[in-house]
Amino acid sequence: MSSNQSPRILVVDDENDIRHLVSEILEDEGYQVSMAENATVAKSLKISTKPDLILLDIWMPDTDGITLLKEWLAEEKTLCPVIMMSGHGSVEAAVEATRLGAFDFLEKPLSLAKLLLVVEKALESGQQNPGLSQNVHIDIEPVGKSAAIARIKDQLKRLAQHDTRVLLTGEAGVGKELYARYLHNNSSHRYGAFINVAVGSISPENSAVEFFGKEDGTRVYQGLLERANKGTLFLGEIGDMDKETQLRLLSALESRSFLRVGGSEAVNVDVHVIASTRMALDEEVRFGRFRHELYYLLNEVTITIPPLREHSEDVPSLLNFYVDYFVTHEKLAFRHFSMAAQNYLRNYSWRGNVRELKNVVQRLMILGVGEEVGLDEVKNTLGKISNDSMILSSIPEFFNLPLKEARDHFEKAYLEYHFEKTGGSVAKLSAAVGMERTHLYRKLHSLNIKL
């Protein structure tokens, strides 16, 4: 784009009114605007107009926006900034789009001020490299309108104004990462990276390189802290961190600087740190398993995310949300839950919280028949899930496989069972199955068990 030429913007949206309204607003601001009502037209206009920025709707009749974004990224090493738009407020869609390389995500109905601000920021950013999608903020909110969730969102908004270090506590599966993203999105760091670290997946011997990076001659590998500079570092399940790594991280956070492995010059960073835990960290401190200095550093304010059973009035909204997600992203046939089924699920115990609800919805949409999910089908599915987790009612299918493949199937099922039983802690899993931790990491990765 030359300095004397106004930026070219391509607006892709199947809704005629929105497409023209956005175009008129942008033209009034001096931009050159082209419009496409579907993916086919968008592909053609992208080639002919060579836009500096694309506003892309997620939900379109011929090809959805995320699939179109993937195609463009596969075709080009660099792509002009892409801003995704959706009226459904899909958290999962937003996360997927920005991980692929979208610059940002706008929720409909569009805010005029937000639209112009994000467009300006995107054009300033220039070309966007795929894979650097952590450098965006996703303007979305946790699903739910209950008093409990509204109170937490209000607290997080107020905390976001002060760069306070927040410790998010709660049971496994309540969605602590989503609340961390919400805090990030409302903070002064929202246009920086949101780096999500599954602490338990980092082995002690690799933690220095992972967190601080590495220098090898002229080559530099940026660690997590450096990638999170001017943004947010989210330390998921901080209680799983070994004590040596705790000490290294404590020193870096206190001084706001560190040395890369193999480096000689200090790297200064400005990072907002949010941590989460399902453990009682004060107990871990008391028993000497977690350093008290790091605990007090991270725990300036504690916010507890309640289990789903304590805000069950949000279950219908969550059901609708995940139905929408699986229709879009896994191309499953649309189904809706009957009022009786919704009422039953509102009163279900949800020991696995929102994560369990998501899995139940997926199973019902894959295996069910017909548009409506009825009460009997829900009861039957929940009963099967319960039975599947307790006993093997028949000879496992992998008994018919060759020995090596059967052994892999057994080890995967065995480790996943104990992983769930120990609450997702690699340290506790190591003790439970009697396997040395370093070897266990390799085993989990080789069996493709997600940490």
pTM across the whole model: 0.59
Q: 429 or 19, which is more confident? A: 19
Give yes or no for a contact between 361 and 335, defined as CB atoms under 8 angstroms apart: no
Residue 451 lies in a domain: no
Give the pLDDT band of residue 125 (cuts 50, 70, 90).
low
The answer to whether residues 206 and 298 belong to one domain is: yes
Given 82, 100, 135, which residue is the final one in a domain? 135
The answer to whether residues 231 and 273 belong to one domain is: yes
Given 110, 135, 160, which residue is the final one in a domain? 135
Cis peptide before 396 (omega within 30 of 0): no
Cβ atoms within 10 Å, residue 135: 18
15: domain CATH number?
3.40.50.2300
The answer to whether residues 365 and 298 belong to one domain is: no
For residue 442, the one-letter residue type is R
Residue 377 lies in a domain: yes
* Most confident option among 64-78, 229-243, 408-422: 229-243
Give the pLDDT band of residue 126 (cuts 50, 70, 90).
low
Residue 226 lies in a domain: yes
Residue 140 lies in a domain: no
State how far the Cα of 21 lies from the Cα of 247, in Å rounded to an integer. 54
The answer to whether residues 274 and 312 belong to one domain is: no
Rounded mean pLDDT of 69-87?
82
Kindly state the percentage of the chain with pLDDT values over 70.
Answer: 87
pLDDT given for residue 156 in this prediction: 95
The answer to whether residues 282 and 197 belong to one domain is: yes
State how far the Cα of 58 lies from the Cα of 56, in Å rounded to an integer. 6
Residue 162 lies in a domain: yes
Residue 2 lies in a domain: no
Boundaries of domain holding 417: 397-446
Give the pLDDT band of residue 387 (cuts 50, 70, 90).
low
The answer to whether residues 155 and 281 belong to one domain is: yes
Q: How large is the greatest C-alpha to C-alpha distance in the chain, in angstroms?
A: 73
259: domain CATH number?
3.40.50.300
Q: 16 by DSSP, 3-state: which?
A: helix
Given 75, 106, 135, which residue is the final one in a domain? 135
* Side-chain-side CA neighbours of residue 209 (13 Å): 11
Give yes or no for a contact between 215 and 177, defined as CB atoms under 8 angstroms apart: no
Whether 231 shows a pLDDT value over 50: the answer reads yes
Residue 141 lies in a domain: no
- pLDDT tens for 393-451 read 445 666 666 666 677 778 888 888 887 777 777 778 888 888 877 777 777 777 777 66
Measuring CA to CA, how many Å separate 368 from each of 326, 337, 352, 376, 378?
Answer: 13, 11, 22, 12, 10
405: domain CATH number?
1.10.10
The rounded Cα 107 to chain-centroid distance in angstroms is 17
The answer to whether residues 170 and 292 belong to one domain is: yes
Q: 422 or 241, which is more confident? A: 241
The answer to whether residues 268 and 335 belong to one domain is: no
The answer to whether residues 383 and 405 belong to one domain is: no
Measuring CA to CA, how many Å separate 132 from each of 98, 100, 321, 429?
Answer: 9, 8, 27, 33
The answer to whether residues 253 and 265 belong to one domain is: yes
* Side-chain-side CA neighbours of residue 80 (13 Å): 17
The answer to whether residues 82 and 122 belong to one domain is: yes
Residue 268 lies in a domain: yes
pLDDT given for residue 129 in this prediction: 37
pLDDT given for residue 61 in this prediction: 79
Instruction: For residue 274, give every residue at least 6 positions away whose Cβ sits within 8 Å of its Cβ, in sequence order, or none.
Output: 165, 166, 167, 168, 180, 183, 184, 232, 233, 234, 235
DSSP string, 90-131: -HHHHHHHHHHT-SEEEESSPPHHHHHHHHHHHHHH-SB-TT
pLDDT given for residue 134 in this prediction: 41
Strand partners, 14: none
The answer to whether residues 167 and 284 belong to one domain is: yes
In the structure encoding, which two tokens stand for residue 254, read together? Answer: 């206190």
> How many distinct structural domains can be found in the chain?
4
